[in-house]
Amino acid sequence: MTGQQVWRPTRRRLTDTLIATLSPVAVCGLALGGLSTWTAYGNAGSPARIAVTGGRVYLPYGNAQDTAAFFRITNSGGSADRLLKVTSRAVDGAGTFSRHRMTGARSASAQTVASVAVPAGGSLAMSPHGLDVTVPANAGWQAGDLVSFTLRFARSGAVKTLAVVVRPGQDGT
């Protein structure tokens, strides 16, 4: 080993290496501490927890080809969800969402909507005066029959529920 110089770190090289190593570690520690605090105080949220109750479907009148179904959807989770589709084996085809609005003293309009938001920690109560699901009518239904429906949500997946067949006006709406 003659003629070769032994490498020895200088104080400057050691200081630069230490700073280069500690900077990312400090930033990661700060970020982890902030996220841990945010989560500990409940701000990180939780998944949507969907419950569907109060299902009812109007008894078709006369030769009506469509009728309306209504549900109460509760989201007890910390994240919003979106109702995408409502289906039933008892009817042909999927239902469509309709939103009804009063446009004047004695007039109303209905608008078809593609999906329906269900807020985190909130609920959605469908009614003839707001949002409903328009479904193909089944002529064999009788008042009191139970109809099985599947509601499909963006995050929560499929939720199965039952709706009772009622005469319009006899369900408190």
CA–CA distance, 161 with 54 (Å, rounded to integer) = 9
Look up residue 107 and give its two tokens.
């007039």
Radius of gyration of the chain measured on its C-alpha atoms: 29
pLDDT in tens, 15-45: 888 888 888 888 888 888 887 776 666 556 6
Mean pLDDT score of the chain, rounded to an integer? 85
pLDDT in tens, 47-94: 889 999 999 999 988 788 889 999 999 999 888 999 999 999 888 778
Residue 150 scores a pLDDT above 80: yes
Closest C-alpha among 127, 138, 153 to residue 66: 138
- Residue that wins the pLDDT comparison between 33 and 149: 149
Q: Picking from 1-15, 34-48, 61-75, 157-171, which range would have the lowest pLDDT averaged per residue? A: 34-48
Predicted local confidence at residue 117, as pLDDT: 93
Which amino acid, one-letter code, is at 13? R
Residues 6 or more apart from 159 whose CB is under 8 A from it? 50, 51, 52, 150, 151, 152, 153
pTM for the model stands at: 0.70
